[in-house]
Copies of this chain bind each other. A is one copy, B any other.
Amino acid sequence: MNRPQPVERMVEIVKKLPGVGPKMAERLSYHMLKMPQEEVDRFIYCIQNARQTMKCCSICCNLSEHDPCLICSDTTREQSIICVVETPQDLIAVSKVKDYKGLYFVLGGALSPLDAVGPDDIRIDKLIERLKSDNISEVIIATDTDSKGEITAVYLADIIKTLDIKVTRLGYGLPVGGDIEYADEVTISRAIAGRKEM
């Protein structure tokens, strides 16, 4: 016997979520079948409500209930520095660092030649336009440190330099609170290159 069709369809669509394999999709689906009605209603409401209320800020492309978002409309922030991140989640991570008082730009992904994600698939044009029109003195590139993020950083830096704007990249090194024993070779090598006198 196979799963009944309605359950099968549910499992199939849950399986499409990122990081959800066949076993997990089955587990989630059967769980959602057993959930009390009010819990399912709330689950669906939260999805629909978030989708309806969250907008893409027309300046930085961050997800926000407001447009422009609270960061872009905050005139006390330093207006000449932009930190470029891949996703809204990355923006939240960087924004928790109290020292940074500049603005942001969310690319919406990273270049990935293997997945056929090219410059037109992320918001590079929109970033360049903004750099040309606003008075920006520095762009801090805070894309991920995996190969996609690296490619994107190099690609962006090349373009931004032609605009006579300073480009920086977040420093590499050992993560704070980490055990050197578990750090990979590339990270240690970068940490040695970036060593500081005490």
Interface of A with B (CB < 8 Å)?
A: 1-7, 9-10, 13-14, 16-20, 24, 26-33, 37, 39-40, 42-44, 46-51, 53-54, 63-65, 70-71, 87-89, 91-92, 95-96
Contact = CB atoms under 8 A, between A and B. Distances in A.
A13 B63 contact: no
Interface of chain A, main secondary structure: helix
A92 B10 CA distance: 16
A186 B91 CA distance: 49
A19 B21 CA distance: 12
| 7 closest cross-chain pairs (CB), A and B | A1-B95, A6-B50, A10-B50, A10-B46, A6-B53, A13-B46, A9-B46
Given A14-B43, A18-B31, 18 more contacts: A1-B95, A4-B54, A4-B63, A4-B64, A6-B46, A6-B53, A6-B65, A7-B63, A13-B43, A17-B31, A19-B28, A30-B87, A30-B89, A33-B54, A37-B51, A40-B47, A44-B47, A44-B48
